[in-house]
Amino acid sequence: MAPKVNTQPPKGTRDFLPLDVRRREHVTGIIRRVYESFGFEPLETPTFERLDTLLGKYGEEGDQLLFKVLHRGEPLVHGIRDAAQYLSKPGSLIEGRSGETAPGAEKLLSDIGLRYDLTVPLARVIAEYQGKLPPIFKRYQIQPVWRADTPGKGRFREFYQCDVDVVGTASRLAEAEVIGAVGESLVKLGFESFEIRINHRRLLRALIEHAGIPVELEGAAIVAVDKLDKVERDGVDKELSLKGIADDARKKLLDIVAVDTPLSLDQLADRLAGHPGALAAIQDLRSIFELVAPSEARRFLTFTVSLARGLGYYTGAIFEIAVPDLSGSLGGGGRYDGLIGMFSGKEVPATGFSLGLERILVVMEERKMFPAALSGVDLLIGVTDGTVERDAIGLAAKLRREGLRVDVLMKPDKPGLIRKAADERKVPFAVWFGAAHGGRAGIWSASTPGDKTVAFEEIAAAIRG
């Protein structure tokens, strides 16, 4: 007897059984084909990166969510001793908060960590392969990332991102292409009502300045506005107040970003006539709307003055996918001209959009958006007599050459049980024969009642209808 062991997947991760894999591949296949049709090229990077590459890019909270890989051998022995010494120093552990003081020790025990997103690896690749990549690099990347977050509904420790980015140009065509690719992907997946919300970081900053909020509180104000969907006007007001922002400044800001009928771009242009930064941002947004106009995505693109995006690194237009009756988004992105250059030391303009695979799958499952037939097998072959197994393999080989996906049952059975096996596994056809087959088989179809007998040569045609 084997010992009783825990055979569940580790916390926050999942096993994908055949139907799960097929659904995931249905979605990633469509996204991949659309991204390719827009001329984006595939990139894949390693599962782990140097901690030097990862640390300090995602804020303090992000650093703590990195999965770090343990040293081995001698470096581990030294690391343990140094880490123990580090922990014994006074002040290295704050009462009751020992976890938060571990980062100093972690660096002594690890120098690589699992990929946290697909953007920092892209920045590393751009720095490493200068000259080998085209000066304007349109890349997509569909790979898992890992975060040691508390797992919850739709939140995992291992999950996939589907990123599309244009690196190396400040042209608004880049925004038009990433928005076009993401919009077309969602349409092709079957989404009918969604919004691609768009706003601009420089417009938001102008509004914050216009409201009289001091520049040093700009970041905090953006983080607060980002929560509008979740906590509504009162919640944002409270957070802004806690940050020390005065009553009239809060009101002035919220009267623009948190009202029922939000201002149009034209109205904002009037209101902010004295802010050259705001006007440039508005002009930027107008160009993007114009360039997206010929695409499928245009129907879904909505200027949303309250859109803020939490991340610090955005510098221009920002985007987010909103679906009715779903809190949170299916994806987001924006222009981030300062990030890609961090490893090479020269500024490289870039803009990108990321779709979150797991949330797309949750919504598609809830709304029954998957095609009914995602089974992998077209036909099950069974024998009623063990002596003709070789004939079954021969028939299977012939039908596979004709392009069918064919499974052969591994033991002889009665016709009724062969039909039942096909039915249970949702395989649309079954055939069976015994020792005296004479080149003919019984055939069952899930869609037509009653069995028939057909010659081996007629099976492919019978299945193709």
- Alpha helices by DSSP H, listed for 198-258, are 201-210, 218-225, 228-242, 247-257
Site string for a second copy, 294-313 (x = CB under 8 A): xxx-----------------
Residue 258 identity: A
Contact 459, 399 (CB under 8 A): yes
Our finding on whether 36 is near a second copy (CB under 8 A) is yes
Query: How near is the Cβ of 219 to a second copy at its closest, in Å?
Result: 21
- Report in angstroms how near the CB of residue 247 gets to a second copy at its nearest: 40
Q: How far is the CB of 344 from a second copy (least distance, A)?
A: 7
Binding segment (CB under 8 A) for a second copy, from list 40-48, 209-217, 254-262, 312-320: 40-48
Binding of a second copy by 17 (CB under 8 A):
yes
For the chain, how big is the Rg over CA atoms in Å? 29
Bridge partners (DSSP) listed for residue 334: 318, 352
**Residues 335, 350 contacting (CB under 8 angstroms):** yes
**Dihedral over alpha carbons 363, 366, 368, 373 (to 10 degrees):** 90
**Of 78 and 230, CB closest to a second copy:** 78
Please identify, among the stretches 65-73, 234-242, 301-309, 441-449, the one whose residues bind a second copy according to the rule CB under 8 A.
65-73
What number of chain residues touch a second copy (CB under 8 A)? 123
Interface residue with a second copy among 61, 72, 324, 450 (CB under 8 A) is: 72
Name the pairing type of β-strands 406-408 and 429-433. Answer: unpaired
Distance CA 34, CA 351 (A): 18
Place of tokens 């002040």: 91
Nearest to a second copy of 225, 297 (CB atom): 297
The minimum distance between CB 465 and a second copy, in angstroms, equals 19
Q: Whole-number minimum distance, CB 117 to a second copy, in Å? A: 15
Which region, judged by CB under 8 A, interacts with a second copy, from 68-76, 256-264, 318-326, 440-448?
68-76
Alpha-carbon distance of 339 to 433, in angstroms, equals: 65
d(Cα 406, Cα 53) in Å, to the nearest integer?
A: 47
Give me 149's structure tokens.
Answer: 């977050």
CA–centroid distance for 286 within its chain: 28
Q: Measured from the CB atom, is 40 or 191 closer to a second copy?
A: 40
Binders of a second copy among residues 169 to 188 (CB under 8 A) are 169, 171, 173-174, 176-177, 180, 184
Nearer to a second copy, 86 or 246 (CB): 86
Judged by beta carbon, residue 134 or residue 212, the one nearer a second copy is 134
Stretch that binds a second copy, among 20-28, 315-323, 363-371, 433-441 (CB under 8 A): 20-28
10-49 burial code (b ≥16 CB/10 A, e <16): eebeeeeeeeeebbbebbbebbbebbeebebeebeeeebb
Is 309:318 a contact under the CB 8 Å cutoff?
Answer: yes
Give yes or no for residue 341 binding a second copy (CB under 8 A): yes
Residues 364-403 that bind a second copy (CB under 8 A): 376-377, 380, 389-390, 392-394, 396-398, 400, 403
Given the complex with a second copy, which of 266 and 402 has the nearer CB atom?
402
Q: Is 77 in the site for a second copy (CB under 8 A)?
A: yes
Query: Which residue's structure tokens are 């802010």?
Result: 275
Give the per-residue contact string, 100-119, with a second copy (x = CB under 8 A; - = no): xxx--xx--xx-x-x-----
Cβ proximity to a second copy, 139 vs 201, nearer residue:
139
Please state the closest distance from residue 188 (CB atom) to a second copy, in A. 11
Using the rule CB under 8 A, is 435 a contact of a second copy? no
**262-301 mask for a second copy (x: CB under 8 A)?**
----------------------------xxxxxxx-----
DSSP string, 270-336: HHTTT-HHHHHHHHHHHHHHHHHTTSGGGGGEEE-TT---S-TT--SEEEEEE-TT-SS-SEEEEE-
- Report the largest interatomic distance among the alpha carbons of the chain, rounded to a whole angstrom: 92
